[in-house]
């Protein structure tokens, strides 16, 4: 989801917290859950599981309403449109597509060179990388507090197990263009 010009960088602390809080809230919706996320300067990427198109639509709507209200609030009561367009959904129907999407989302900050201006090396602090259990190298993931379920463990075979048949993900792996 890309924000309109005039919205502060989403990787700033207050904006990041707004998005994390919204992710926590929508993960309690029936039939919809966020499995992975990445926040960039002016947009974010998600990998979600939804039981139906309606559940996906309502889950994304609920998330974007919460994010919009929160971002407007932290920008001094700003009013108006926050997102430049609606979400773009892509069905991940095979292990290769899922693995590529995981690399793309978890390592997207490297593609946008966000890591050059922030103090991190292996894992993006503005993503679900610390929750992710499919790394093949580097230190074990740092577990965030259990009272902060920003993402949920995948329920589908493709997202929990199927992609792993193609190999775990390296912390130095770069996303391919998508």
Within a domain: 157: yes
What are the angstrom distances between the C-alpha of 91 and each of 52, 56, 129, 158?
A: 12, 11, 21, 12
The domain tally of the chain equals 1
Which tens digit of pLDDT belongs to each residue from 135-150? 987 655 565 655 567 8
Task: Give the domain extent around 80.
Answer: 13-166
pLDDT at residue 119, as a whole number: 52
Say how far apart CA 171 and CA 139 lie, in whole Å.
10
Q: 99 near 132, Cβ under 8 Å?
A: no
pLDDT at residue 17, as a whole number: 92
Size (the chain), residues: 178
Task: Provide the 8-state DSSP code for 125.
Answer: T
Within a domain: 176: no
Within a domain: 174: no
Whether the full predicted model's pTM is greater than 0.85, yes or no, is yes
Largest CA distance in the chain: 48
pLDDT at residue 50, as a whole number: 96
The residue with greater pLDDT, 54 or 85, is: 54
Q: Residues 110-130: what's their mean pLDDT? A: 70
Which tens digit of pLDDT belongs to each residue from 148-169? 678 999 999 999 999 999 999 9
Would you say residue 128 has pLDDT above 60?
A: yes
């Amino acid at each position: 989801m890309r924000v309109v010009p005039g919205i502060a960088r989403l990787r700033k602390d207050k904006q990041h917290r707004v998005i994390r809080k919204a992710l926590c809230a929508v993960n309690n919706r029936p039939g919809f859950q966020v499995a992975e996320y990445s926040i960039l300067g002016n947009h974010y990427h998600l990998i979600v599981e939804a039981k139906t198109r309606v559940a996906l639509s309502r889950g994304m709507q609920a998330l974007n309403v919460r994010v919009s209200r929160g971002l407007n609030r932290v920008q001094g009561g700003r009013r108006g449109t926050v997102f430049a367009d609606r979400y773009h959904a892509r069905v991940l129907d095979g292990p290769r597509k899922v693995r590529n999407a995981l690399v793309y989302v978890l390592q997207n900050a490297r593609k946008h060179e966000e890591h050059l201006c922030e103090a991190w090396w292996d894992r993006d602090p503005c993503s679900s990388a610390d929750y992710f259990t499919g790394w093949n190298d580097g230190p074990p993931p740092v577990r965030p507090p259990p009272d902060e379920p920003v993402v949920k463990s995948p329920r589908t075979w493709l997202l929990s197990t199927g992609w792993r048949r193609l190999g775990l993900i390296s912390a130095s792996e770069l996303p391919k263009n998508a």
